[in-house]
C-alpha cells in the first residue's frame, strides 16, 4: 500500500472516530462502532483496478437455505461450480484488455465477440451466480411490497400469478438455464434463458433469478426440478433484492 493511500485511510479512520465521539457516549460500545466505521483499505482506494474478477462472498451461511437447498448442494454449487466459472474467467482474460475490467464489462464485451464464446459462457455464469445468491434469502418467499407489489399486480394480476409464471418458466426451460423476473422498459416480465444467456446483455433489467441447471438441485431433488423450483419460489425468493433492483 502506498503512503498516499495509507494516509487517506488514516484520515478516514480518524474522522470516523471523531464523528463517533461527538454523537455517542464514551463507552466500549462507542469505540466498537467507531472501529466498525473504519473503511476497509481495498474498498476505500479509488485507484485500485476493478479486476481481476473474484468470487463474491456468499451472503449467508452454507446451511442457511436448508431444507429448500441443502448445505451440501450450496457447498458444491458455490464452492465448486461458481468458483470454477470465476477461475476460468480470470484465466481467459489474463493478459488481455479485459484483465482489470469489472465482471459486467467482461460479460458485455464477450457477448458481442464471436471469438470469445468460451469467455462469455464463463463470465456470464460467474455474473448470473452472483446475482442468483442475492436473489435468495434464508427467510425469503412471501410477497413483494410497495412499488414492486403495485407493478406485479398491474402486470401479472397477482403475486400468485407471477409465482406460477416463474415456476412454469423454470420447469419448461429445456436443459440448463435460468428463469428470471425482469423489467422490460416499464413492464415486468418472466423470461427464461438457456445455458449462460443473461438479461444483462439484453435491454432488460434483471430483478430476480432462479438457477435451473441440474447442479442447482440434483443432490437434493434428483430429477424433480419442479419440487426444487417450487421450494425456492415459496421459501427463498428475496423480494427485497428485486425491489432494490427495480429502484
Ligand atoms: Mn448454477
* 159 within some domain: yes
| Residue 31 belongs to some domain of the structure | no
Q: Of residues 67 and 12, which shows the higher confidence score?
A: 67
Q: What is the pLDDT of residues 202-241, one digit of tens each?
A: 999 999 999 999 999 999 999 999 999 999 999 999 999 9
pLDDT in tens, 95-105: 999 999 999 99
Assign residue 197 the CATH number of its domain. Answer: 3.55.40.20
pLDDT of residue 49: 52
Distance 129 CA to ligand 1 centre (A): 6
Does residue 28 lie in a domain region?
no
Instruction: Answer yes or no: pTM beyond 0.85.
Output: no
104-107 own/partner pairs: CB under 8 Å, 24+ apart: 104/200, 105/50, 106/53, 107/198, 107/200, 107/201
Does 92 or 26 have the greater pLDDT score? 92
Residue 53 CA to ligand 1 centre (angstroms): 18
**Residue-number span of the structural domain to which 128 is assigned:** 71-246
* Distance from residue 114's CA to the centre of ligand 1 (Å): 24
204 three-state secondary structure = coil
Is residue 53 assigned to a domain? no
Measuring CA to CA, how many Å separate 234 from each of 37, 108, 226, 228?
36, 32, 12, 10
**CB contact at 8 A, 162 and 148:** no
Exposure of 172 in the CB half-sphere (CA atoms within 13 A): 10
Number of domains in the chain: 1
pLDDT given at position 50: 60
**48 vs 186, more confident:** 186
Question: What is residue 247's predicted lDDT score, i.e. its pLDDT?
Answer: 87
Nine-digit cell string for 30? 462507542
Average of pLDDT values for 11-25? 40
pLDDT higher than threshold 90 for residue 35: no
Say if residue 33's pLDDT is above 70: no
* Contacting residues for 46 by C-beta, under 8 A, at least 6 apart: none
Q: Which tens digit of pLDDT belongs to each residue from 115-151?
A: 999 999 999 999 999 999 999 999 999 999 999 999 9
| Rounded distance from Cα 48 to ligand 1 centre (Å) | 30
Percent of the chain, pLDDT > 90? 79
Q: How far is the CA of 130 from the centre of ligand 1 (A)?
A: 10
CA of 212 to the centre of ligand 1 (A): 7
Q: How far is the CA of 36 from the centre of ligand 1 (A)?
A: 34
Within-domain flag for 60: no
Query: Residue 25 falls within a domain, yes or no?
Result: no
Output the CA 16–ligand 1 centroid distance in Å: 40
Q: How confident is the model at residue 34 (pLDDT cuts 50, 70, 90)?
A: very low
> Which residues hold their Cβ within 5 A of ligand 1, which is an ion?
211, 213, 216
The alpha carbon of 210 and the centre of ligand 1 are apart by a number of angstroms equal to: 9
Structural domain includes residue 43? no
Q: Is residue 214 part of a domain?
A: yes
Query: How far is 115 from 97, CA to CA, in rounded Å?
Result: 14
Flag whether pLDDT at 29 surpasses 90. Answer: no
Amino acid at each position: 500500500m502506498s503512503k498516499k493511500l495509507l494516509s487517506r485511510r488514516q484520515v478516514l479512520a480518524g474522522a470516523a472516530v471523531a464523528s463517533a465521539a461527538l454523537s455517542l457516549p464514551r463507552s466500549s460500545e462507542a469505540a466498537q462502532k467507531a472501529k466498525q466505521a473504519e473503511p476497509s483499505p481495498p474498498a476505500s482506494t479509488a485507484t485500485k483496478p476493478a479486476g481481476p474478477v473474484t468470487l463474491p462472498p456468499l451472503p449467508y451461511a452454507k446451511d442457511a437455505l436448508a431444507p429448500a437447498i441443502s448445505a451440501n448442494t450450496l457447498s458444491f454449487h458455490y464452492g465448486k461450480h461458481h468458483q470454477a466459472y470465476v477461475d476460468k474467467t480470470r484465466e481467459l482474460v489474463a493478459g488481455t484488455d479485459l484483465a482489470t475490467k469489472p465482471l459486467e464489462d467482461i460479460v458485455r464485451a464477450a457477448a458481442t465477440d464471436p471469438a470469445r464464446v468460451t469467455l462469455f459462457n464463463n463470465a456470464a455464469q460467474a455474473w448470473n451466480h452472483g446475482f442468483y445468491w442475492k436473489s435468495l434469502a434464508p427467510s425469503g418467499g412471501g410477497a413483494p411490497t410497495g412499488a414492486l407489489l403495485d407493478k406485479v399486480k398491474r402486470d401479472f394480476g397477482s403475486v400468485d400469478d407471477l409465482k406460477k409464471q416463474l415456476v412454469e418458466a423454470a420447469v419448461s426451460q429445456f436443459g440448463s438455464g435460468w428463469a428470471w423476473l425482469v423489467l422490460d422498459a416499464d413492464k415486468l416480465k418472466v423470461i427464461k434463458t438457456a445455458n449462460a444467456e443473461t438479461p444483462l446483455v439484453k435491454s432488460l433489467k434483471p430483478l430476480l433469478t432462479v438457477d435451473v441447471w441440474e447442479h442447482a438441485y440434483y443432490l437434493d431433488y434428483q430429477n424433480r426440478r419442479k419440487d426444487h423450483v417450487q421450494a425456492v419460489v415459496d421459501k427463498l425468493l428475496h423480494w427485497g433484492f428485486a425491489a432494490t433492483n427495480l429502484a
